[in-house]
């Protein structure tokens, strides 16, 4: 009998990566390509067709990767990814605008404020009114890109990839919650923002792990007939794979963005929602049925990448040496500090005779991660203290970052899952096929043949 595999695809900010996993949870093969952004200073966008074809190329490369079992057949594909980035389609299903990166500062925020009060936006959408929610990006595209006003559908990136591969046009709740077009209290489209953009949401809403159709063409024979599912926001998918998508646990993801998330049972009052959002702690629907996710995110990972570039750090060896040197630096002898407040760029000040690459790295890491420490204290004051903490993402393997997290969190477990976002997507693919039982809200997922 041909080996049966599950594939998780993670459309991330830096890379689009795929992993093939057997029903025992063993990762057998992986493939990746850079996410095809077009950069213009702090601005970044992508051609949605190129984005989809790059994802397709990653999946196509997987059966030729080392570790792929001979004759293996894929029974399910789960797709996770960044949230606020989306794709606009016209009535014929054609792409009509570029996809703006989630961190792109372009957005019609003032236009929204002319029609909707900031308080109302916060009490319904569960996000701060700034350039991040998809609605601000959609309105910018409709104002500046010819053809964007003909759009009748907005799909978040993971939803777009599933549709491109042959699946339905669906709105997965954790992703739809990041569009600004959805009322997270009532779990329904929000008329006030839809009046500004037009009715762009899909007709069907799903929770991560629901069957969204099957592969039709474009991929190798090993994928023929595989069930497709949208598996939600990448951070939540990673939390699911790590066993931290349960009540009481904290999941701290340290990738391009740093994210803190806690899962809480629905419902939530508008008053409590407003308190959280006013401090930039978003509330969205979770990948766990009937649960909300309280999420705080910063650009710490992206900012640390920029500091690495500034310091000329290339490769793991240089990165490791810099972190070790930073651990031995006493920053109190210098006035150097880093201000991460501006999303258009970092501000490094106090450069003096004590300055060095190691000092710069220590200052950058401590000052950037201080944002998340402050936010965690606030969130726990609203939803209660954590019962455990799991930290994942590439930056936790930096010794300087790990030292700061130890001081912030005390004991924590490092997620030992390689590519947890993609593995979480594979787990949800297993749920969509019926091979894996959906866990309860206090249970960690298990592989059927582990």
Query: pLDDT digits over 370-402, tens only?
Result: 999 999 999 999 988 998 899 988 899 999 999
pLDDT of residue 308 exceeding 80: yes
Q: What is the pLDDT of residue 344?
A: 65
pLDDT of residue 404 exceeding 70: yes
Q: Where are the beta strands (DSSP E) in 52-121?
A: 73-81, 86-89, 99-100
Smallest CA-to-CA distance from 311 within 224, 400, 393, 371 is with 400
* Residue 46, strand partner residues: 99
Helix (H, G, I), strand (E, B) or coil at 433: helix
In the chain, pLDDT over 90 holds for what percent of residues? 88
* Alpha carbon distance 379, 373 (integer Å): 10
* Alpha carbon distance 193, 123 (integer Å): 13
pLDDT of residue 343 exceeding 70: no
What are the Cα distances from residue 421, in Å, to 16, 53, 57, 181? 11, 20, 19, 25
**Do 240 and 293 touch, CB atoms closer than 8 A?**
no
In the chain, pLDDT over 70 holds for what percent of residues? 99
pLDDT of residue 45 exceeding 60: yes
Q: What is the pLDDT of residue 342?
A: 56
What are the Cα distances from residue 290, in Å, to 107, 132, 283, 316? 31, 25, 13, 41
Average pLDDT for 34-55: 97
DSSP state of 167: B
Close Cβ partners of 100 (under 8 Å, ≥ 6 residues apart):
43, 44, 45, 85, 106, 137, 140, 141
pTM of the model: 0.89
Report all structural domains of the chain as residue ranges with CATH numbers, in order of start.
4-237+418-433 (3.30.420.40), 248-414 (3.30.420.40)
pLDDT of residue 186 exceeding 90: yes
Q: What is the pLDDT of residue 316?
A: 93
**Do 48 and 96 touch, CB atoms closer than 8 A?**
no
DSSP state of 41: T
Q: Which pair of structure tokens corresponds to residue 267?
A: 């419902």
CA 100 to chain centre: 15
Q: What is the pLDDT of residue 249?
A: 87
pLDDT of residue 255 exceeding 90: no
Average pLDDT for 204-210: 98
Of the candidate ranges 33-42, 47-56, 441-450, the one whose mean pLDDT is the lowest: 441-450
């Amino acid at each position: 009998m041909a080996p049966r595999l599950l594939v998780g695809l993670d459309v991330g900010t830096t890379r689009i990566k795929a992993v093939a996993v057997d029903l025992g949870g063993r990762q057998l093969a992986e493939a990746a390509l850079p996410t095809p952004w077009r950069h213009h200073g702090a601005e970044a966008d992508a051609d949605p067709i190129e984005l989809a074809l790059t994802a397709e190329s990653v999946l196509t490369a997987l059966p030729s990767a080392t570790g792929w079992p001979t004759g293996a057949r894929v029974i399910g594909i789960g797709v996770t990814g960044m949230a606020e980035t989306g794709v606009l389609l016209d009535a014929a299903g054609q792409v009509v605008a570029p996809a703006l990166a989630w961190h792109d500062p372009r957005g019609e925020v003032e236009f929204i404020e002319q029609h909707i009060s900031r308080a109302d936006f916060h009490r319904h959408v569960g996000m701060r009114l700034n350039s991040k929610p998809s609605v601000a990006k959609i309105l910018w595209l409709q104002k500046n890109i010819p053809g964007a006003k003909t759009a009748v559908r907005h799909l978040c990136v993971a939803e777009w990839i599933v549709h491109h591969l042959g699946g339905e046009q669906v709105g997965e709740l954790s992703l739809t919650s990041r569009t600004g077009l959805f009322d997270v209290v009532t779990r329904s489209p929000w008329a006030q923002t839809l009046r500004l953009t037009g009715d762009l949401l899909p007709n069907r809403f799903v929770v991560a792990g629901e069957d969204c159709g099957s592969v039709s063409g474009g991929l190798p024979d090993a994928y023929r007939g595989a069930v497709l599912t949208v598996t939600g926001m990448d951070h939540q998918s990673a939390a699911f794979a790590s066993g931290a998508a349960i009540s009481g646990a904290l999941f701290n993801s340290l990738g391009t963005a740093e994210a803190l998330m806690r899962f809480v049972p629905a419902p939530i009052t508008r008053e409590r929602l407003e308190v959280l959002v006013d401090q930039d702690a978003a509330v969205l629907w979770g990948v766990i049925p009937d649960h909300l996710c309280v999420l705080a995110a910063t650009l710490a990972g992206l900012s640390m990448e920029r500091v690495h570039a500034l310091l000329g750090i290339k490769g793991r060896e240089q990165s490791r040496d810099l972190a070790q040197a930073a651990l031995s630096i006493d920053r109190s002898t210098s006035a150097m500090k880093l201000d991460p407040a501006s999303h258009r760029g970092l501000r490094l000040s106090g450069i003096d005779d004590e300055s060095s690459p190691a000092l710069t790295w220590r200052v950058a890491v401590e000052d950037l991660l201080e944002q998340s420490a402050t936010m965690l204290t606030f969130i726990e004051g609203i939803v209660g203290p954590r019962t455990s903490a799991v930290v994942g993402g590439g930056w936790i393997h930096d010794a300087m970052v790990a030292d700061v997290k130890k001081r912030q969190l005390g004991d924590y477990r490092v997620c030992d899952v390689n590519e947890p976002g993609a593995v979480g997507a594979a787990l949800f693919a297993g749920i969509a096929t019926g091979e894996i039982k959906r866990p309860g809200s206090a249970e960690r997922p298990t592989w059927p043949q582990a």
